[in-house]
Chains A and B, each alone.
Chain A
Amino acid sequence: MNRVRNLGEVWLEMKEAKKIFKTALAEGRTFVLEHEAKDIMRAYGIPIPPYSAATTADEAVAKARGIGFPVVLKILSKDILHKSDAGGVKINLRSEGEVRKAFNEIIENAKNYGREKGIDVDLSRGVFVSDFADMGTEIIVGVTKDPQFGHALMVGLGGIFVEVLKDVSFRLIPFTESDAREMLKELKAYKILEGIRGEAPRDVDALVKIMLSVSKMVEENPEITELDCNPTFVYKVGEGALVVDARILIDNPSKKA
């Protein structure tokens, strides 16, 4: 893995992230919006499905056509952290008609959500339009900031492995490539990545690369307090991996004494 990057590149990555964090804090947010999270991911070379944003139904349709069907639409608002709870997510949209309908529903749901909560939901950013990624092996890659040890990265297989079996492993950030591979081997579900019951082995190298990129991102942006790449889909060997959904929470420096 190429650990040496040119300085200009580092600067661009960091600049992108810092700009986004500044905007978020200026709006009183300690979370970044989905398209912002994806912009940061992209700056760090983390593979994500093609995406865009749209503020009108017509624009959503045009963007969807550009990306290619099927697509996913999600609400983008500084007032909505949990998008599904606000009816702000529509997946597997296969036609222009479906996209148009979904856009209108999402905006309507967001307004209703605002009425229930008694807030005037900001809708100026419209919706996030993204490629509906093919299902892969579901992985969660996450970051937490421990009060004693600082930032640590977690990895585990998604679904019941994380929810029920708590089958996850941790390393402090930064860590080496061999640490990353060891982390995966510590998982009880590691066999699934190696391919069981005739399934092709998964692209572990691509996953390791994502883990190292996230580690680098957090090392360079310590204001990140929590991060979830959930789900991350890992495909067959040679076919890579995609971070389908990303969430980043940041520290509010003004809250500190």
Chain B
Amino acid sequence: MPTVSSGSTESIDIFFNARSVAIYGASASQNSVGQAIIQNFIKPQYTGKVYAVNPKYNQVLGVPCYPTLQEIEEDVELVVVAVPARITPRVFEDIAAKGIKAAIIISGGFSETGPVGAELEDEVVTIAQKHGIRVIGPNCVGVVDTHSHIDTFFLPEYRCGRPRPSNVANISLVSQSGAFAAAISDWTAELGLGISKLISLGNKCDIDDDDLLSYLADDSTTQVICYYTEGYDELKGRTFFDTAKKVTPYKPILVVKSGKGSKARAAASSHTGSLAGSDRIADAAYEQSGVIRVDNFEHMFDAAKALAMQPAAKGDRVLMITNGGGLGVMTTDALEALNLAIPSPSEELNKRLHERLPAYCAVGNPIDVVGDTDASRYDAVFKEAIESGEYDMFVVGMLLQTPSLGMDITNVIANYQRMSGLPFVVVSMGGAFTTKAGEIMELMGVPTYATGEKAALAAEALAKYGEIKYGDKFNKTLVSDKP
């Protein structure tokens, strides 16, 4: 894997792998930020050392508490700062004196509040820069790492679930908004989506989108990088673009960007200036650097799941196979609307399929193996269609309401996916049983969706990323309506 970054990723790694953490502002009062954070670190999953810092206590929840960092005898690798903004400069002097190189400032009250807060933030940045301390925040919820169990989210787990890593593939999310980072933590925990890292950036006084992109690009536990951003600081959009261009050929990046309106351009005196607006430029930058922009989080995680679990498509030809006609038509409609090709089988393939399927199956695209099927008809279709080389991707409708279709279908799908190396996407529509079946399918590495439309969006993402990854080598058969 190519390395994008310079030495700076080492300084960022400590935020996710610190073996000793101090909570500055740890508190004995219930429901306080300082208590919620220390609670995360006394869970048995976190196997590093934890220290509390607060002159008011000798211990917090059984964790030894010190008046300053300098009084801790052992080394500390990471400090989580949860103290009022006005005393953070003093805290940073303490951090510098202890020789710690990484700090997350959870507290708000900085540049987001106005000039006085901005001055405080500058003061902190000056101390940090002088002593080589890397900073996440302020005004953020910090990080969750599902492998090391570093977790600075000050939201109790019964209110805000924490996602888990998957053995198959994992997604990491960088969010400008702390509230979204928390909501996504809770939501992906519920979905059972494999997550490696969640990072809330807040005011980005030091570490920004671009630093994390370099880090996550080289992170072997992250297969897809997701961003929520509201905009970039001056010319930071440009550096993000420059880094993204190097990353996208080997790791997919998805972005949800809000703030589509434009205001800054109103005063532009040229024609071009008045037509531009930052959001259109952002769109162009994403397109040019191979970053996939999506409209919302639902779409983002549907796409990210497919991109994490499956190889990129090498072309746009999709075969839909289903045991229910309606699902087949709905799904191919959705695929068509997303500009994917749905070619019918060639005469040769058609003949072979007819030989192997009962006469009442409908051979075309979609191929309907009908309601009384078991896994063997899917098996026959996969084998012939893969051998024909006529398709780049498979969307499989797996309606499990019919008892004739056994759970062995999941093995058949997973095996053909692995053997062919072609991307597969499954639709498993229904209630409790099918949801469970979908989970099993995903444990086998094939992303599964509740509707044909969601599966089609996933297929589109696999094709879109294929185009980014393979460039001119991507087999684009569908010519759009342009002559």
Contacts and interface: CB of A to CB of B under 8 A. Distances in A.
Contacts of B273: 142, 144, 226
A149 B288 CA distance: 12
A253 interface: no
B325 interface: no
Interface stretch (B142-150, B235-243, B339-347): B235-243
B105 to A, nearest CB: 24
A172 B278 contact: no
Nearest to A175: B288
Nearest to A150: B238
Given A147-B264, A148-B237, A142 B281 contact: no
Given A169-B284, A191-B483, A148 B231 contact: yes
B284 A152 contact: yes
A168 interface: yes
Contacts of A175: 288
Contacts of B483: 191, 194
Interface string B368-383: 0000000000000000
A135 interface: no
A171 B278 contact: no
Max chain A C-beta neighbours (<10 A), residue from B276, B282, B482: B276
A185 interface: yes
Nearest to A170: B284
Interface in A238-257: 247, 249
B264 A149 contact: no
A144 B267 CA distance: 13
A192 B240 CA distance: 35
A185 B236 CA distance: 28
A253 B285 CA distance: 26
Contacts of A156: 275
A149 B237 contact: yes
A140 B271 contact: yes
Nearest to A155: B272
Contacts of B237: 146, 148-150
B220 interface: no
A76 interface: no
Given A152-B281, A172-B281, A194-B483, A143 B272 contact: yes
A172 B278 CA distance: 12
Categorize the interface residue count of chain A.
20 to 34
Contacts of B287: 171
Main secondary structure of the interface of B (DSSP, over half): helix
Contacts of A230: 271
Interface string A164-207: 00101111100100010000010000110010000000000000
A162 B272 CA distance: 10
Given A148-B237, A152-B276, A172-B238, A249 B281 contact: no
A228 interface: yes
Interface string B200-237: 00000000000000000000000000000001111111
A75 interface: no
Interface string B252-284: 000000000000110011111101101011111
A171 B245 CA distance: 13
B280 A149 contact: no
A144 B482 contact: no
A87 B9 CA distance: 60
B278 A147 contact: yes
Nearest to B275: A168
A154 interface: yes
Most B CB atoms within 10 A — which of A142, A144, A194? A144
B288 A172 contact: yes
A167 to B, nearest CB: 10
A73 interface: no
Nearest to B235: A150
Given A191-B482, A194-B483, 4 more contacts: A146-B278, A149-B278, A150-B237, A226-B272
30 contacts: A140-B272, A142-B275, A144-B268, A144-B270, A144-B272, A144-B273, A144-B276, A146-B237, A147-B234, A148-B232, A148-B235, A148-B238, A149-B235, A149-B237, A149-B278, A149-B281, A149-B285, A156-B275, A162-B275, A170-B284, A171-B287, A172-B281, A172-B284, A179-B288, A190-B482, A226-B269, A226-B270, A227-B270, A230-B271, A249-B270
Interface of B: 231-238, 241, 264-265, 268-273, 275-276, 278, 280-285, 287-288, 482-483
